[in-house]
Structure formats: structure tokens, C-alpha cells
Amino acid sequence: MLFSYVTADASRPDGVLWQIATATSPDLRHWSGPRPWPRQGGVLGVASPDIVRDPSGGFVVTYQSDPGASDPVGTQARLFYRTSADLVVWSAPHPLAWSLAPMPQDRMIDGALVSTGHQLVLGYKFSSPSQPDVFEMARSVTDRPQGPWQPLGRPGITVDGGTIENFEFLTAAGSWRLVATSDNLDQPWLFTLVGDPRTAQGWLRWSAGYRLDVPPERFNSGPGLSSVGYEHANSAFLCDASSLPGRFYYLLYAGSDELTQLGGWGHARIGVARSTDLVHWQVPPG
């Protein structure tokens, strides 16, 4: 598992240090301690990893520079990627699609790649002083993360009166799916591709989607609204284990019973829920 790893650091502009860490488990219950990546030069921190397989069988992780403070790479966050053959040894960081955010005040976060066998597509959240947060997509004209990158447009997805973030593309139950978090209320949603995945413009057409009804537990419940007083199931990531015994899908997500610690992000924990149909979700009893 790769995840954002936030620790208190009084020397940082917002009082926290953003890193990416890894942990391993043999059973999804007992986990190793977090192992942070080495500090990346030229940025204040890194966050929001998304991992996919590349066509050669290796792994590609996309992530962003520190989302909470101005950064030396520009005044706003930018995307990066790293590659690995074994999830242990990683390449050096590489800029990802910076041409899509050419101005210093442009902001790109939550990048996620999808390699379809026909093309390489990128989804990300974009904003600028003249453009509030939007979900945008682009394709690599070389079908490689190095680009060059060509904008595709903005899928017409609106959830809870706003856009979506924290994207993941995968195939599940025979269809291309998009897992994302509502920008308002921080809830997990699932969308199905209705466009032609063999064409670039097909990736702009998605079903209306539905919220994933993750049962609350003590660690991810609190007074008030999710995303305001606590975090219920933020930044969800779906893992398809339906071909294994049990035929489960597993959903990993961040939850917190408060949003006061660590610069207002809260002391989050990672939860796991499972489902056999992508509709009804279970969590461990108690």
C-alpha cells in the first residue's frame, strides 16, 4: 500500500510535512510500519499517490507536490511520476504533464493514469485564479508518460454540487470504472465509462455514478458533516480481488473522528471495506 503520510513539522509553512510512505501486509489486518520515500529535492513535500501497471508489466505511481503550501516548483502543486519493476526500487521523480498547467498560479493535483491498450490517458484536478476546481483529462500523443500531452476536455460529472477529486481508473465487473471522491463532503463515488475506450473522446463520457455506502465506524465518525467535523471515507481506492476465493472487492479509504490535528487535516487512519457486488459494503464487526 502507498499512501500520503503526514507528520507535524514546525519548520514547514503550514506546520506539517507531506510524504509518501509504503506498508505491506500478508492479510489486510496486520501491517508493517510506514516506510517514507526519501525526501524529494525541489519540493516541500509529496502526496496523493495512485498506482497502475504499465504495458510492460511494471508499475507507475503518479503523485503531486505538497498540496498545502506554495512550492519551489511553482506557486502551486504539480504532478510527478516514478516507475518500478518490483515496488521496492523506484526511479527518480519525473515531471508529469506540466504543459497542461503552464502558469505559476495553475494547480494540478490527484493525477491518475489509465493505459487502455490503445492510448495513455490522464485524469487530474485543475484550478487557476480564473478557473475554480474542475476534473480534466488529457492523452499522451506518444502513449508514454513523458508525453507530449494533449488536453481532451472535462467530463460532465457533478456530485453534491461540486466536482470530484482523488481519481482511480480500473476495470471491474467487466467495465471501465472511475473511483473518485466528491469535492464537497469527501464521499467515495463509482462511475462507469459509457464512451468508447478505444477513442480519446470516449473517456469524457461517464455514467451518473453512485455513492459507495461505506458503513461508519468509531474511527471515521463524528459530529457535524463529513469533511467539516470528521472524515468518513476520503480518497478511496478500489482493489479487485473478485477472481480469488471469496470474490471480494476491497475498498481502502482514509477516515478520522476529528479535523483539528496536523494542520486541520486530522489524525487519519486507513479503513478497509469489502463487497461482492460494488453496492453492499461490509466492515469488520465492532
What CATH code is carried by the domain that includes residue 145?
2.120.10.10
Residue 280 lies in a domain: no
Specify the pLDDT at position 85. Answer: 95
Place of cell 463515488: 189
Residue 196 lies in a domain: yes
Residue 236 lies in a domain: yes
Residue 22 lies in a domain: no
Is residue 113 within 8 Å of 52, Cβ to Cβ?
yes
End-to-end Cα, the chain, rounded Å = 24
Residue 125 lies in a domain: yes
Q: How many domains does the structure of the chain reveal? A: 1
* Nearest residue to 110 via CA among 234, 257, 201, 222: 234
Specify the pLDDT at position 66. Answer: 80
Specify the pLDDT at position 55. Answer: 81
- Residue 110, sorted as left (phi over 0), alpha (psi -120 to 50) or beta, turns out to be left
Residue 44 lies in a domain: no
Beta bridge pairs of residue 147: none
Q: List the domain range (segments joined by +) for residue 76.
A: 50-275
Is residue 37 within 8 Å of 65, Cβ to Cβ?
no
Residue 7 lies in a domain: no
Residue 13 lies in a domain: no
* Nearest residue to 31 via CA among 43, 39, 21: 21
Specify the pLDDT at position 72. Answer: 61
Helix %, strand %, coil % of the chain (to 5): 5, 45, 50
Q: What is the mean pLDDT of each run of 10 residues along the chain (286 residues)?
A: 94 88 91 95 92 91 82 77 95 96 93 91 96 97 95 96 97 96 97 96 96 97 95 97 95 96 92 96 86
Specify the pLDDT at position 73. Answer: 63
